[in-house]
Amino acid sequence: MDILSVSHLTKVYGEGEQRTRALDDVSLSIAEGDFVAIIGASGSGKSTLLHLMGGVDRPTSGTVLMNGQDVYARSDEALAVFRRREVGLIYQFYNLVPVLNVEENMTLPVALDGRVVNDERLHDLLNRLGLAGKRGCLPNQLSGGQQQRVAIGRALMNAPAIVLADEPTGNLDTKNSREIMELLVQSNRDFGQTLVVITHDEDIALMADRVISMEDGRIVSDERIRR
Amino acid sequence: MSVMGRFTTRSLKKNLVRTIVTVLGVALSALLVTAVLSTFVSLNRFLYDMELAESGSWEACVELADGAQAALAQEDGSLSAAGAQLAATLSDIGFCSYDDLGETGGNNDMSYLALKGFNGDVSSVLGLRCTDGRLPQSADEVLLPYNLSDENTGYDNGYRLGATVTLTFGQRQAPEGRADVGGRLNSSQGFYVVDANGVTSANGARPEEMVSETLVDKQTRSFTVVGFYSRWNQAVVTGVGWTAFTAEPPAPGAFTEAYLEVPGAQTSAEVESAATQAFPDAEAVQLHNSLLRTRGVTSQSPLWESFGAIVAIMAVVVIVACISLIYNAFNISVVQRMRQFGLLASIGATKRQLRRSVALEGAIIAGIGVPLGILAGLGATAAALAWANPLFMESVVGDVGPGGNYLDGLSLGLHIDGGIIAFAAVLTVFTVFASLLVPMLRAGKASPIESIRDTRSVRIGRRGMRKAAAAARSKRAIWAPRGFAGRVMGVGGTIASLNRSREKSKGRTASAALAVAVTLMMTAGQLDVTLSTLTRTADVIPYDFMVFSYIDINRPSGNGGEQAVSDDGDAPATADDGGAADAGSSYDEVIDAYGNLYRDLSQVEAVQPRGWQVSYDTAGIVPASVTGDAVGMVKAELPDGDCMPLLTVCLMDDQLFDELCSRVGIDPQEITESETPKAIGAGTTYSRNPETGTFSEQSLFASTGAIRVLQGSSVNGAPLTSFYFDYGDDGSGEIWGCSRPDAEGNQELSPLAEADNVLADVDVVAIAGKDAFFSSSNEMTIAMPLSKGVEWGFGRSFMNSMSFSAMLDCDHDRMMDTEEDLYAATNGFSSSFVKAYPGTYVHTGVSNLYSSQVSMTNLVSIVRLFSLLFSVILVLIAMANVFNTLTNSLALRRREFAVMQSIGMGRRTFRSMIAAECVGYGAWGLVFGVVASLVVGLALNMALGSTIENAAFTVPWAYLGLSLALVVVAMGLSVAWGLHLCRSRNIVEALRME
Ligand SMILES: Nc1ncnc2c1ncn2[C@@H]1O[C@H](COP(=O)(O)OP(=O)(O)O)[C@@H](O)[C@H]1O
Ligand SMILES: [Mg+2]
């Protein structure tokens, strides 16, 4: 069953001379529990596609359906609610809130949703991410790999419908990269967490069930290599 | 342009809003400094020009016993050695008795017309100007006072332009036995009289009253009359009267005033020492303080010191404000680019290059802002002065009266002083670079690795980390509401609280900007309060005109010296019993005459009469419980605890008295139907405290109650008619009374306590405040209706010290005509009274209180305008500062905000987080701002303390409210702009931002 379906999505940035067609009539569907890798040259529109799938930006035209519902039919406020409940976002530069400690950063989406933190889930995640001893640390006390684990924890905390990661290992060494990817893949395998990862790393792409490659805002190939 | 230069200009362009706000801030600072200084300089220049026109450019006046000393000092070089220049001399030639000057119409209080020779450019050095004709150019030409001219007196004495006059003059010989000044008296000395007891006084009393000095060695000299002057000026008035001038250098042995200029002097002490050094034998040295003050050569004056202190405090406030604004702007711009600096450092930019890049940014901003601000400052000052000029001329120059035309061509205009412009430029450029210093050092410290790794927008210290760790350990639920903000505003508030408690700077920059804003606005308000206190020292006069008169029944008019003495002998005299009876009948006549005068005045066109009164000075015995503190200066303590102050009695006509009663809030019948004397006391007066020289509200009556008023007093049968307070050495004192001198000039003089006194009991039933009473007085005053006062016997014994005043209103359109008509009516009154009672002396006057009031109002408007402009600019600086700081601190955290939004922070939560943060800054800013402004306010108050005693310090609540409102507006605007920059639509953009 498709959890996410994108049709005829177009995104144009800027005006006049500056006008860039970052995404050009893209359509695709992602099945629940799938692990999809998106590859492509820099500037080919990968991040744009990811942002539109995550409800962070609004498309110029086209629709995004999540669980059959039109994401961009929502108001800005409802869109924010959508982001914190249905989506887990992970960026290249961890993007943690500097004044919040590890557990606060991880549970921020829960707090924003006005819900009570599920301590069991938090402990479980902290243990799995190897952050049990770092709960009270602020981001500037952590290494890059640890910060990215916190970001992953934050993305998984709400058990979102889909996790979207934009070059999550782009800023890490090989050892850390592998550990991070293993954590993501594990959540995909163990809990059926739908996962979309943008990457330049061929090894990582080969871990995915499906690889989509992009060029100039279009999908040029879409291969299923597993399942 | 170098790479770094291009980098700098590009960043200025990229952050256009911030660049513009910073340039504006610098420009405003330059504007304010320029405007304050050039207003001060222009005003000072005007006062200097006016002082020059009024009394000339001399700086010191040295009195020499021998005119030859002046020439000698010039020849032997002692003048130039002292750095002084001899600008002019005035030397005594002789003194003309008014008897020898022909028929001049009486009403002349002067003893002699002094004849003096001048040497030098007296027009510019002494401000001696002609009303008609020109200054004498030789020793056979003369300049006379206009009041002597035939045109003025109506007699034919030959005192007109072109005529030849022969003046008889002599030398003043001190009275017998008083030869301690070599027997001869000079023009600086007053008229010498010796009374029967051998007491000498030089008070300008008339020659016929006592044994007095005489004129000897009379001789004559002919002159051509070439000019008249009419303006009072220091140079034309001597100890004994006006002066006639001819052009003649000082004769050997003649008393001479040498007028000096000391070009290099920096202080008045230097001027004085130069003068005494040049003339060690000088009899006296006098300084032209009013001129020296405007030249910046200081001299003591409480008001002037207050003014200087206020300007100094304002200057400090302005400079602090400007530094804070510019510092913030630059600091933010550097912090924002730290990453770029690090990047540049990583590709090989040296620390010097980085610092130079910041310095270049400062130079560009100062290069645009400073000239802009100085030009705007000059323009604004010129415009404000142009607006103020007519009001200013009306209030400052309007009252100089006849002969005021010497001020023609004088106007209050912008005086552009190169030094001031340079100073303003240097000060603001200095401010820019002082503000740049810290950011520059910080830019130099940018380390490549740290800044590339560091994507954090806030800085966190050890404390923040400890707190974060403690939070994780605590048993509290993770997102339990934190802080006040968290409880009120949910998650957004909690994040704001966490931010505040863990972040290193705790929003100090924003709080500081807000504190400065509050301080500036409150200071502006305080300035307004202060200035209005200053201008309140002037009393509000409740009517337009006051006509006053004074009749001396026993005093002969005219100038016939010898004859006057015998007249005096025949006149209703003072010392015998018959005198008292005569005085009684004259009293009724005088009261009647005043009633008639008032009727005449009331009939002048367009006049609305308000009433009239007669008043005289006497003494009283007042119980301690009734005496107010302010009487302290002039009261004699009596053994039983009561005191004896000087007391003024006002007898009012019904109209005036009814008005007073209604102002005080009592029924007039309480007094008019009383059998025994009752009166209203004048309770307070706003006056100069003679000991400290400061103004304050002084209470004369502490409460109502019974007092006793002196109805008459005599010593050895001679009535005492005037009273004065004699200060003892220890500050205590007693009241003395004196009788009028008899034909031989003998006068009784006695402490009142030892005289035969008749006292009347008076019940003071109400006290009139300063605003209720019609005039202010330094003495305790009681008012009662004239009809009852006469019946109760008040005033009868003091007829000769009694004065009349009528209060009148008029149509303000007809002001000038009315004034002339009132003059005509009073002149008619005095001439007909003198005709009916030969040998009397009548003095009259008209004062136009409305125009003085207008002058004062004009002055207040001018002061208000300037303080308003000042305040507006201060407020603009404050708002720019807040705006700059807040928008930048928000812009700096754009990426952080974008992350929060991308993981699902809704707009409302976001807003409440920002609002909570701003409230935090605002609260601290307010606390510090209010404390700082109270300090500034107290300083301002203390600066004024030397002038106004009881100007109690009050918190200006209205301005506090206003500053709060303005701070909220500034915060609102900046947050709106900041949020505009962080709109959720821009999340992606912000995330892409490095
Ligand atoms: N916010 C934006 N404003 C303007 N242009 C943008 C914006 N975001 C992306 N682009 C442009 O759209 C194109 C696709 O960018 P992006 O999706 O980030 O590519 P990728 O992630 O594949 O490197 C690029 O040419 C980029 O310059
Ligand atoms: Mg990308």
Is the domain of B153 the same as that of B126? yes
Nearest Cα neighbor of B456 from B896, B886, B914 is: B896
The verdict on residue B148 lying in a domain is: yes
Residue B423 shares a structural domain with residue B301: yes
Is the CB of residue B465 less than 8 Å away from at least one CB of chain A? Answer: yes
Inform me whether the pLDDT recorded for B634 exceeds 60: no
Let me know whether B575 and B652 are in one domain.
Answer: yes
Helix ranges restricted to H, B479-547: 483-502, 508-535
Question: Model confidence over A17-43: pLDDT tens digits?
Answer: 778 888 888 899 998 888 999 988 888
Alpha carbon B32 to chain centroid, angstroms: 23
Of A87, A99, A136, the CB nearest to B472: A136
Beta strands B733-738 and B722-727 are: antiparallel
Q: Identify the band that residue A158 occupies on the pLDDT scale cut at 50, 70 and 90.
A: confident
B979 part of contact set with chain A, CB < 8 Å: no
Verify that B740 and B859 share a domain, yes or no.
no
Domain-located, residue B467: no
Measured by CA distance, the residue closest to atom 24 of ligand 1 is A43
Determine, for residues B906 and A101 on separate chains, whether the beta-carbon distance falls below 8 Å.
no
For every residue of B886-913, DSSP letters joined together read HHHHHHHTHHHHHHHHHTT--HHHHHHH
Find the ligand nearest to A45 CA.
1
Neighbouring CB atoms inside 10 A of A182's CB total 11
Q: Are strands B112-120 and B85-97 parallel, antiparallel or unpaired?
A: antiparallel
d(CA A158, CA B119): 104
B687 and B660: one domain? yes
Indicate yes or no: CB of B502 within 8 angstroms of CB of A95. no
Q: Whose CA is nearest to atom 13 of ligand 1?
A: A22
Q: Which domain holds residue B647?
A: 554-839
B881 lies in the same domain as B814: no
Q: Does B481 reach chain A within 8 Å, measured CB to CB?
A: no
pTM, whole model, 2 decimals? 0.62
Q: Is B718 helix (H, G, I), strand (E, B) or coil?
A: strand
CA-proximal residue: ligand 1, atom 3 (nearest): A13
Distance CA B393, CA B901 (A): 65
pLDDT of residue B650: 92
Query: Rounded to whole angstroms, how far apart are CA atoms B322 and B32?
Result: 10
Q: Does B907 touch chain A (CB under 8 A)?
A: yes
Between the CA atoms of B384, B385, B387 and B391, what dihedral angle is there, to the nearest 10 degrees?
A: 130
Q: Is B411 on the interface with A (CB under 8 A)?
A: no
Residue of B568, B640, B651 whose CA lies nearest to B617: B651
Interface residue of B457, B895, B903 to substitute, partner A, most A CBs within 10 Å: B903
Task: State the alpha helices, DSSP H only, in B651-778.
Answer: 654-664, 669-672
Instruction: Report residue B53 as tokens.
Output: 């026109």
Q: Which of A12, A17, A19, A20 best tests ligand 1's pocket when mutated (most atoms within 8 Å of CB)?
A: A20
Residue B582 CA to its chain's centroid (Å): 48
User: Residues B587, B592, B597, CA angle at the centre, nearest 5°?
Assistant: 125
User: B831 and B856 in one domain?
Assistant: no
Task: Take residue A209 and report the two structure tokens written for it.
Answer: 């069930």
Is residue B6 predicted with pLDDT exceeding 90? no
pLDDT in tens, A41-80: 888 888 889 888 888 888 888 888 888 888 888 887 888 8
Mean pLDDT for the stretch of residues B872-890: 76
Q: Going by C-beta distance under 8 Å and a sequence separation of 6 or more, which residues neighbour residue A156? A: A88, A125, A163, A187, A193
Number of structural domains (chain B) is 4
* Residue B586 contacts residue B795 (beta carbons within 8 Å): no
Tokens of B966: 């303005």
CATH architecture of A33-58+87-224: 3-Layer(aba) Sandwich (3.40)
Residues B816 and B857 in one domain: no
Residues with CB under 5 A from ligand 2 (ion): A 47
Residue B849 and residue B543 in contact, taking contact as beta carbons nearer than 8 Å: yes
- Nearest atom, ligand 1, residue A48 CA: 17
Maximum average pLDDT range among B77-86, B190-199, B318-327: B77-86
* Residue-level pLDDT at A22: 86
In one-letter notation, the amino acid at residue B296 is G
Paired sense of beta strands A35-40 and A194-198, if any: parallel
**CA torsion angle B429 B431 B436 B438 (round to 10):** 150
Residues B48 and B66 placed together within one structural domain of the fold: no
Of the candidates B457, B476, B511, which is a domain's last residue? B457
pLDDT reading at B222 higher than 90: yes
Tell how far the Cα of B977 is from the centroid of ligand 1, in angstroms: 26
Residues of A with Cβ-Cβ distance to B987 under 8 angstroms: 56-57
Query: Of the candidates B477, B905, B984, which has its C-beta nearest A112's C-beta?
Result: B905
Burial class of residue A61 (count of CB atoms within 10 Å of its CB; 0-12, 13-18, 19+): exposed
User: Is it the case that residue A13 has pLDDT exceeding 50?
Assistant: yes
Q: Which of B498, B895, B992 lies nearest to residue A100, judging by beta carbons? A: B498
Residues B940-946: what's their mean pLDDT? 66
Cα B497 to Cα B487: distance, rounded to the nearest angstrom: 10
Residues B666 and B802 in one domain: yes
Does the pLDDT at position B224 exceed 90? yes
Position B801 confidence tier, pLDDT thresholds 50, 70, 90: confident
> Is a pLDDT exceeding 80 seen at residue B408?
no
Task: State pLDDT tens for residues B569-612.
Answer: 333 333 333 333 344 557 888 888 899 999 999 998 889 999 99
In a domain, B633, yes or no: yes
Question: Is B16 within the bounds of a domain?
Answer: no
Same domain for B209 and B258? yes
Q: What is the pLDDT of residue B37?
A: 79
Positive or negative, the CA dihedral B342, B343, B347, B350 is negative
φ/ψ (deg, to 5) at B491:
-55, -45
Name the domain boundary from B785, B806, B839: B839
CB of A104 within 8 Å of a chain B CB? The answer is yes
- Torsion sign across C-alpha atoms B819, B822, B828, B829: negative
Residues B319 and B392 in one domain: yes
Task: Pick the closest to residue B38 from B418, B379, B416 (CA basis).
Answer: B416
Q: Are B53 and B407 in contact (CB under 8 A)?
A: yes
Minimum-distance ligand to the CA of A46?
1
